[in-house]
Amino acid sequence: MSYGFLALNNNNQILVSSDTRNLHLITKASVPIQTNSSYNYFGGIRSWTYRVTCAVTPVPFFTMPQTTVYLNNLIVRLPTYYGVARISSVNSNTWDIEIISNYTGNYDGTSEYPEVYVFGDPRASTSQETHGLLVYRDDGTASFDSRLRPLAVAGGVSVTHPSNPRPSFPYGLNPQYCGASLADQGGHFSPTSTGNTYTLPSALGQITKPMFCFMSLAQAERRAVYTATEEECDGVELFGNCVGFQRIYTWRSTYWAFYRGGISYTSDITQFNVTANWIVVYFGCRYTYDRASGIIGIGTGNYDTQGGTWPYSNETINLTSNTVIIADASRYD
Amino acid sequence: MTTTHGLQVRDASNRIIYSTDDVTWNQVDYFFVSGNGSVSQTFSVLSGREVLTLQILIDAPPITRRAIAHTITVNGTTITASGGSENAYILVLMR
C-alpha cells in the first residue's frame, strides 16, 4: 500500500484497510416472516425464513437456541443444530434468509427463534452520527465506518460432516401405501451419527451470546425399501399352483429422508466445542401397488399406483470442509 | 487486554467501538457464480494474507436433481469457483 489507510491488530492481521471493506451490522431480525416446516419427528425439523433489507449481499450470523427437556429432575440441553439453508434475493434491497434446525422447543413448552444479525459492507447503511472514524476506498465509497458497528470476530473453525447421518435402521416400516406413522418414520430416520466435534480456544467460553456464520452445504439422502406380497386364488391350489383365477398383490414403499449439514455448540467457562452433524429437512415416501391378475398362468392385466421420490439415493454430497465464524452477539444488541 | 499502543475508535459516549485488540475478517469481494458456471477472480490485496471463502446457496436444493456445491480453490491471489450445479454467492474474506 502506497497510500490509503491500514490498521493491523495485535496479531498483525488486517483490522481496517482502505483496500477492503469491513463487515458492519446492517440490521437484526428477531422474528421470521415464515415458518416453513415444524415437526418434532425425525429428531426435530424446523425451517424459518427471515426477510431483511440490505443494499448489498448480506452475511448472516445467527444465535442457536438449544432444545431443552426435563429429565430426572434436571433440565437437559439436547444437541441442537443450525445452518443457513439459502440466501435469496427478493428484489434489489430485500433478501430472504432461511435457517434450518432440529430445534424442538423448551422443556416448559415455550419456544424461541434464532436471532439473525445481518452484516454487510458499509455501503449498505448510513448513520447520522457525527462522531467516529470513516475510511474510504479509492473510489470514494466507504471501507470502514465505526458508526455502523463493525464486525469483531471471536473465533472460527473449519468443520466437516460425518459421511452418513443414519448408518442403520432400527425396525421395519409399513410396506403398504407409505402407511407408516410420522412417529415411526421419524424414529427410523432420525440422525444417529455422533457428529464431528471441534474444540476451540477456551476463551470463547466467555462469550456472552455466541452467534455463528455457517452456510449449510453438505447434503445426504437415506432411504429404506419395504415390500409385501399376497396371493389370492379363486380356483384350487394344485401342487402349489393356482388352477383358476389368480391375483398377486405386491406393495412396495420406499421411505426416505433428506438431510443437510448443521452445527451445534457446547460451552462453559473452560471450553467451547462446535459439532458438525445432520438435520433432516425433508422426508417422504414413494409407494407402488401392483395387482397382477391371471388365469391358469396367463396374465389378464395389472394395476399399479405410485408417488413421491428424491433424485438420488443413499448418497452424501458436498462433504467438504465448511467454515464457521463465531462472534459475540451481545456486542450488537 | 488493555491497549497501550495501537488504535482505539470510540463513539460519542466514549465507548470503545473498535480497537487493535479486535480480530476481524475483511470482505474482499462477494461474487455470484451460476450453476454449471465458473468464475475466477484475482485480488492483489490477498498477497501474503490469510484468506477465507464461504459459499452460500441461493436456492434450496431441488428434488429433481443433485444440488452440487461449487469447488472453491485459492491459488495465491486467485480465487476460482467452479464445478457446481447451483447458483451461489462466494464470499471472499481476508485478514
Is B71 close to A23, i.e. CB distance below 8 A?
no
Is A10 close to B20, i.e. CB distance below 8 A?
yes
> A163 — contact with chain B (CB < 8 Å)?
no
- The shortest C-alpha distance from A203 to chain B (Å) reads 13
3-class state of residue B46 by DSSP: helix
Is B69 close to A130, i.e. CB distance below 8 A?
no
- The shortest C-alpha distance from B26 to chain A (Å) reads 5
What pLDDT was estimated at residue A131? 87
- The shortest C-alpha distance from A148 to chain B (Å) reads 9
Residue pair B27/A20 in contact (Cβ under 8 Å)? The answer is yes
Is A152 close to B24, i.e. CB distance below 8 A?
yes
Residue A5: pLDDT band by 50, 70, 90 thresholds?
Answer: very high
- The shortest C-alpha distance from B80 to chain A (Å) reads 16
What pLDDT was estimated at residue B4? 66
Mean pLDDT to the nearest integer, A110-121: 96
What pLDDT was estimated at residue A310? 76
pLDDT of residue A285 exceeding 70, the answer is: yes
Give me chain A's average pLDDT, please: 91
What pLDDT was estimated at residue B52? 94
The pLDDT tens digits for A212-262 are: 999 999 999 999 999 999 988 887 777 778 888 888 899 999 999 999 999
Does residue B7 lie in a domain region?
no
Is A219 close to B64, i.e. CB distance below 8 A?
no
The pLDDT tens digits for A121-179 are: 999 888 888 888 999 999 999 999 999 999 999 999 999 999 999 999 999 999 998 99
pLDDT of residue A59 exceeding 70, the answer is: yes
A96 → chain B, closest CA residue: B58
What is the ipTM score, two decimals?
0.91
Global pTM reads: 0.91
Is A21 close to B58, i.e. CB distance below 8 A?
no
What pLDDT was estimated at residue A2? 61
What pLDDT was estimated at residue A279? 97
Nearest to A63 by CA among A86, A110, A29: A29
Q: Which of A57, A88, A320 sits opposite B30 (nearest CB)?
A: A57
Backbone angles phi, psi at A94, to 5 degrees: -125, 135
- First vs last C-alpha separation in chain B: 20
Is B66 close to A8, i.e. CB distance below 8 A?
no
Q: Is A33 exposed, middle or buried (0-12, 13-18, 19+ CB in 10 A)?
A: exposed
Is A132 close to B9, i.e. CB distance below 8 A?
yes
> A6 — contact with chain B (CB < 8 Å)?
no
Of residues A1 and A133, which shows the higher confidence score? A133
- The shortest C-alpha distance from A232 to chain B (Å) reads 38
Interface residues on B facing A, Cβ-Cβ cutoff 8 A? 1, 6-7, 9, 11-12, 17-18, 20-28, 30, 45, 49-50, 52-69, 71, 89, 91, 94-95
A214 → chain B, closest CA residue: B54
What pLDDT was estimated at residue A262? 98
pLDDT of residue A68 exceeding 70, the answer is: yes
Does residue B33 lie in a domain region?
yes
| Total structural domains within chain B | 1
Whole-angstrom distance, CA of residue A216 vs CA of residue A105: 22
By residue range, what is the domain housing residue B69? Answer: 25-94
pLDDT < 70 stretches in chain B: 1-4
- The shortest C-alpha distance from B65 to chain A (Å) reads 5
Cβ neighbours of residue A123 under 8 Å, at least 6 residues apart? A21, A55, A56, A141, A142
pLDDT of residue A311 exceeding 80, the answer is: no
pLDDT of residue A196 exceeding 80, the answer is: yes
What pLDDT was estimated at residue B95? 94
- Three-state SS sequence of chain A: CCCCCEEECCCCCEEEECCCECCEEEEEECCCCEEEEEECCCCCEEEEEEEEECCCCCEEEECCCCCEEEECCEEEECCCCEEEEEEEEEECCEEEEEEEECCCCCCCCCCCCCCEEEEECHHHCCCCCCCCCEEECCCCCEEEEHHHCECCCCEEEEECCCCCCCCCCCCCCCCCCCCCCHHHHHHHHCCCCCCEEEEECHHHHHCCCEEEECECCCEEEEEEEEEEEEEEECCEEECCEEECEEEEEEEEEEEEEEEEEEEEEEEECCEEEEEEEEEEEEEEEEEEEEEEEEECCEEEEEEEEEECCCCCCCEEECCCCEEEEEEEHHHHC
Give the burial string for A47-68 (b: 16+ CB within 10 Å, else e). bbbbebbbebbbbbbbbbbbbb
Least confident of A6-10, A166-170, A242-246, A314-318: A242-246
Give the burial string for A193-229 (b: 16+ CB within 10 Å, else e). bebeebebeeebbebeebbbbbbbbbbbbbbbebeee
DSSP annotation of B35 reads: T
Residue A203: pLDDT band by 50, 70, 90 thresholds?
Answer: confident
The pLDDT tens digits for A87-99 are: 999 998 999 999 9
Does residue B14 lie in a domain region?
no
Query: Which residues of chain B make contact with A286, given a CB cutoff of 8 A?
Result: none
CA dihedral A42, A212, A66, A272 (to 10 degrees): 110
3-class state of residue B24 by DSSP: coil
> A125 — contact with chain B (CB < 8 Å)?
no
Question: What is the percentage of chain A residues whose pLDDT exceeds 90?
Answer: 75
Query: Which residues of chain A make contact with B12, given a CB cutoff of 8 A?
Result: 129-132
Backbone angles phi, psi at B46, to 5 degrees: -75, -10
Does residue B9 lie in a domain region?
no
Residue A303: pLDDT band by 50, 70, 90 thresholds?
Answer: low
| Cα→Cα distances A2→A18, A83, A212, A295, Å | 11, 41, 36, 92
What pLDDT was estimated at residue A3? 77
Does residue B32 lie in a domain region?
yes
